[in-house]
Amino acid sequence: MEQIQRKLAEYTASLYNEKILDEQFIQLQQLQDESNPDFVVEVVSLFFEDSERLFNELAKALVSKITEFSILVCKNSNQTNVDFKKLDAHVHQLKGSSSSIGAQRVQRVCISFRNYCDDRNVEGCLKCLQQVKIEYTFVKNKLETLFKLEKQFVDAGGSFPVV
Amino acid sequence: MDFYSSSSSTISSHEEPHVLAVDDNLIDRKLVEKLLKKSSCKVTTAENGLRALEYLGLGADQEHSTNNNGSKVNMIITDYCMPGMTGYELLKKIKESSILKDVPVVIMSSENIPTRIDQCMEEGAQMFMLKPLKHSDVKRLRCQLMQCQ
């Protein structure tokens, strides 16, 4: 049990040290109580579902509008049929929800992404889309591991301190 | 008819204030709901301004409605950036209503834009809060609500 507890504590600390999560995640944990013991998992699951939906929307708004030819055109002129307003609206959503659960790195990429939207920079947006997916997958894996460790801890008889 | 009398303006220490929370983001809605419940509030959520107005009885086809949800709401907390109707526009509609103009409206935003804040405060917002909301923010709000009612 002690081993699991230590593993959990170390893992949790690493998430904050590596700035994968910020103190907003702690806020979430503090909201969890007996009346809602799975609150954090529920909110994070919602975040996963909503983010996947947003990635689809982003792909529709950005990737499908681009062909190799139009990228060439974009580089030379400001012509594009990408709806940057729509793109920005979706990124704004993703920025909001990642911020709300403390997924710091995802949020940071969203900020850059929005700047590229403002500048109508297709290449920049494409890069950010790639980047945000990478950061999302990364935090998703980390959180899933965290939840697994927490479950192991609880199953071994551990309980979390009431804040 | 007594329905817009005092019930919305006095909260005794035993009653739970009823808050209407408006936000188009699913995760934020869940969070604000939990934060408010943790501060002993009864919560109704709406996903956009139109739904919020409908709930309050101020919707477009509700001129002669007997919907008195509005008189049960002690506070409205709304996100600023929402598609269709912004939180600011919602605030204006509420302040224009003879029934609801005294209900405190709090605006939330992830962006700290002074002109936006001024605009909302000038229109009569109770408070402007930065997202993501923390438990301490909601506690503070709850205290304010108790005092000014």
A73: pLDDT strictly greater than 70: no
Work out the average pLDDT over A151-159.
Answer: 90
Cα–Cα distance for residue pair B41/B20, rounded to 1 Å? 10
Mean pLDDT across chain B, nearest whole number? 87
Cα–Cα distance for residue pair A145/A140, rounded to 1 Å? 9
Which DSSP state fits B133? Answer: P
Tell me whether residues A95 and B110 touch, CB distance under 8 A: yes
Helices A84-101 and A122-155 cross at an angle (nearest 10°) of: 20
Residue of A nearest to B37 (CA): A31
Tens-place pLDDT, residues A78-93: 456 789 999 999 999 9
* Distance between B137 CA and the closest CA of chain A, angstroms: 12
Mean pLDDT across chain A, nearest whole number? 89
A62's CB contacts (< 8 A; 6+ apart) are: A82, A87, A122, A125, A126, A129
Q: Residue B132: is the preceding peptide bond cis (ω within 30°)?
A: yes
User: How many whole angstroms from its chain centre is CA A154?
Assistant: 26
Q: Residue A37: is the preceding peptide bond cis (ω within 30°)?
A: no
Residues of A in contact with B28 (CB under 8 A): 96-97, 100
Higher pLDDT, B10 or A141: A141
Reported pTM: 0.87
B25, B34, B110: residue with CB nearest A31: B34
Tell me whether residues A31 and B38 touch, CB distance under 8 A: yes
Tens-place pLDDT, residues B21-50: 999 999 999 999 999 999 999 999 999 999
B114 touches chain A (CB under 8 A): no
